[in-house]
Amino acid sequence: RWPSLLKYYSHSDSVSWLEEYKARHNAGLEAQKIVASFSKRFFSEHVPCDGFSDIETLGCPSHFFEDELMCILNMEGRKGLTWKYYAKKILYFLRQQNILKNLKEYLQRPPERQSFLEGAVLIDQYCNPLSDICLKSVQAQVDDITDKVRKVLRTKNPRHPSLASKAGEVLIPEVELQRQVLDAMNCVLYEQLKYKGNELDYYNSLNSYIHQVLIRRTGIPISLSVLYLTIARQLGVKLEPVNFPSHFLLRWCQGKEGSTDIFDYTYIDAFGKGKQLTVKECEYLIGHHVTEEFYGVVTSKEVLQRMVGNLLNLGKRESTDQSYQLLRDSLDLYLAMYPDNVQHLMLQARLYFHLGIWPEKVLDILQHIQALDPSQHGAVGYLVQHTLEHIKRRKEELGPEIKQRSDEKHKEVCFSIGLIMKHKRYGYNCVIYGWDPACMMGHEWIRNMNVHSLPHGPHQPFYNVLVEDGSCRYAAQENLEYNSEPREIPHPDIGRYFSEFTGVHYLANTELEIRYPEDLELTRATVQKIYSSGKE
């Protein structure tokens, strides 16, 4: 019944299967109960930090609880959208907490026990907690590439020490034998397997995730360098990471081991098909001179810092993701490594403030910043004041506003919750999840969006819509029309508002229906009228 749990048992274990079944069954009931409660508790706000507190104190094994969440997420069909939405949020939280714990344990180890590959996997897992990524699987794929390199090496030099069973445990001292390994690696990686630097889509976050680098066989300098370095070390060649500006490199010692002379090293560009560079060629690569310090070796923590820094910059660039998930995840990772970095703490506080989420956590962060750097009191004071106002407003909210279609002031509202619409001007597909009898935005928004240029201006119904590109928009009634070919809207928040997609429209979940109690019947009648007449 639960085959995904087999990995938690050994054939040699003496297990009471009845007790295990009871524990799994009870964990399932507990998970369903918590998921069901989330919509009611958190419909009108982002799930707060302390919203997961009852999950952290679970009385059942966490892997059973997670397994039930996965069962909910894998439910077939277009039903249970709200359950799936909150199951995903809970699973995301649980896995990230566990990965963060593993990362902190990793960072506490001595440097020689910090594998670059493991560090890259931890970053990958944290940013993709719902994907099935594990070090064992990634290592197996790297081992497979290493075996291919050994086959090529065997044809060139059957007596090469890297072919021995314990190769990798002992470093090869002879430079010429090391060169043979690197030549074989370049042959396998870049000629046979066609790995390459992703020049065409350089700023795609997938280039930073090691499991995606292995699947897509492309990446950016740092991710390809981690792969290249790992394979080389497994074959007895010690390469070291170099935090070169704008283009991460590896260095290979040609002189005395541990030399501080930058000219005793050859520099390897894993992004450029393993090309071996001199100091001068490294400068040509980036187009300017750099000082000797940039040719020095860096620690695994510094490599992770640069990987996370890349993701931070990508998170700032992503304009379509209105939840800023990548930026939030990469900030979490950065602050796990450097918890007292004022610049990133302030960015995190500003981000949560901008998103209107976790005001209590914002206050905690600001208090920490003030203790670290009192000179920040101006910015901290401003954010504290507005965050306290936000908390006060939230406490004063009387409850959900209920909008009745029968109310006289709503008589001009033509469309209803759950209808799949098309924007007349921009052509995007969307679904309605809220409406107002007139534009409720401020004067600045109305001016910026040029609303007064519309024939009916702001004095017409406006609709909150979830758009297929993942954005949320506020559209004028005159700009919307029924979609002649309704289809599912792939929006991350669809389950927050809707429980099911019928094939032609969405069904509001309980919380949304409370707020628009008369819309469901109107939506059904509209759909019947439009789409049944179209079929005839």
pLDDT tens-digit series, residues 122-166? 999 999 999 989 999 999 999 999 999 999 999 999 999 998 866
For tokens 């860096």, what's the residue?
298
pLDDT digits (tens, 9 = 90+) for 451-465: 999 999 999 999 999
The reported pLDDT for the residue numbered 536 is 36
Helix 81-108 to helix 116-127 angle, to the nearest 10 degrees? 160
Average pLDDT over residues 372-377: 93
In the predicted model, is pLDDT for residue 117 greater than 50? yes
**Strands 472-476, 420-423: pairing kind:** unpaired
Reading the block at residue 52, the tokens are 């997961």
The reported pLDDT for the residue numbered 330 is 96
Burial class (CB in 10 A: 0-12, 13-18, 19+), 533: exposed
Nearest of 95, 97, 99, 146 to residue 121 by alpha carbon: 99
The reported pLDDT for the residue numbered 47 is 67
In the predicted model, is pLDDT for residue 59 greater than 50? yes
pLDDT digits (tens, 9 = 90+) for 73-85: 998 888 999 999 9
For tokens 């490599």, what's the residue?
303
| Own/partner pairs, 143-148, CB within 8 angstroms, 24+ separation | 143/234, 145/188, 145/189, 145/193, 145/227, 145/231, 146/231, 146/234, 146/235, 148/188, 148/192, 148/193
CB 197 within 8 A of CB 191: no
Reading the block at residue 492, the tokens are 């991350």
Name the residue ranges covered by the structural domains of the chain: 5-108, 135-303, 339-397, 408-531
The reported pLDDT for the residue numbered 532 is 72
CATH homologous superfamily of 408-531: Hemimethylated DNA-binding domain (2.30.30.390)
- Of residues 439 and 58, the one with the higher pLDDT is 439
CB 431 within 8 A of CB 466: yes
Grouping H, G, I as helix, E, B as strand and the rest as coil, residue 334 is helix
pLDDT digits (tens, 9 = 90+) for 391-443: 888 777 767 889 999 999 999 999 999 999 999 999 999 999 999 999 999 99
pLDDT digits (tens, 9 = 90+) for 292-314: 999 999 999 999 999 999 999 99
In the predicted model, is pLDDT for residue 2 greater than 90? no
CA 189/CA 340 separation, integer angstroms: 40
CB 263 within 8 A of CB 279: yes
CB 441 within 8 A of CB 474: yes
Measure the CA angle with vertex 293, ends 289 and 299; round to 5°: 130
Q: Give me the percent of the chain exceeding a pLDDT of 70.
A: 95
CB atoms within 10 A of CB 325: 14
pLDDT digits (tens, 9 = 90+) for 190-240: 999 999 999 999 999 999 999 999 999 999 999 999 999 999 999 999 999
Banded pLDDT at 171 (limits 50, 70, 90) = confident
Helix 359-372 to helix 377-396 angle, to the nearest 10 degrees? 160
In the predicted model, is pLDDT for residue 535 greater than 50? no
Banded pLDDT at 168 (limits 50, 70, 90) = low
Banded pLDDT at 533 (limits 50, 70, 90) = low
The reported pLDDT for the residue numbered 245 is 93
Helix 221-234 to helix 116-127 angle, to the nearest 10 degrees? 140
In the predicted model, is pLDDT for residue 51 greater than 60? yes
The reported pLDDT for the residue numbered 422 is 96
* Type of residue found at 297: V
